[in-house]
Amino acid sequence: MISVVSWLAFKTWLKKVWVWCKKNWKIFVGAAIPIVLMIVFRKNVDLGKVLDRVRDDYKKEIDAIEKSHKEEIEKREEAVSRMIGTMKKVEEKYKSSQQDLNARKRKEIEKILKNNSNDPDEITRRLSEITGFKIHVE
């Protein structure tokens, strides 16, 4: 009876190991490649160097991801500040000309600012068409 229970426990353990191996197959492939290379070429492959190179590549990739994320945040903040500044300029022009900036025009201006956030010349041109004022966007 104990041997049957032990066998079932061992069998269950093997199933768990198999599932773990299926999930983490990359580890086995990564370990098998240097071993196969050592056998085929009969050279001593320094696994430490291989692991160091993998670690360095990983660090470079992480650094590149962090850099691009930081740049994306900076560009987004720049676009938001440009939009806010432009909206203030438009509102000031309307105030100085004693006209009201209605909700429809405001939405239209915001849409232009969002859609053309990387092209100040296009924003300037479109705002001039809608408002009739020459508002230069930087």
Question: Is the pLDDT at 58 greater than 80, yes or no?
Answer: yes
33 and 55 share one domain: no
* C-alpha span between 114 and 19 (Å, rounded): 49
Question: Is the pLDDT at 127 greater than 70, yes or no?
Answer: yes
Residue 32's closest CA among 16, 23, 19, 45? 45
79 and 14 share one domain: no
Give 65-118 pLDDT, tens digit per residue.
999 999 988 988 888 888 888 888 777 777 766 566 667 777 777 787 777 767
* C-alpha span between 34 and 37 (Å, rounded): 5
40 and 51 share one domain: no
Average pLDDT over residues 40-63: 80
122 and 74 share one domain: yes
Average pLDDT over residues 117-134: 73
The pTM (predicted TM-score) of the whole model is: 0.45
Contacts of 45 (CB under 8 A, 6+ apart): 34, 37, 38
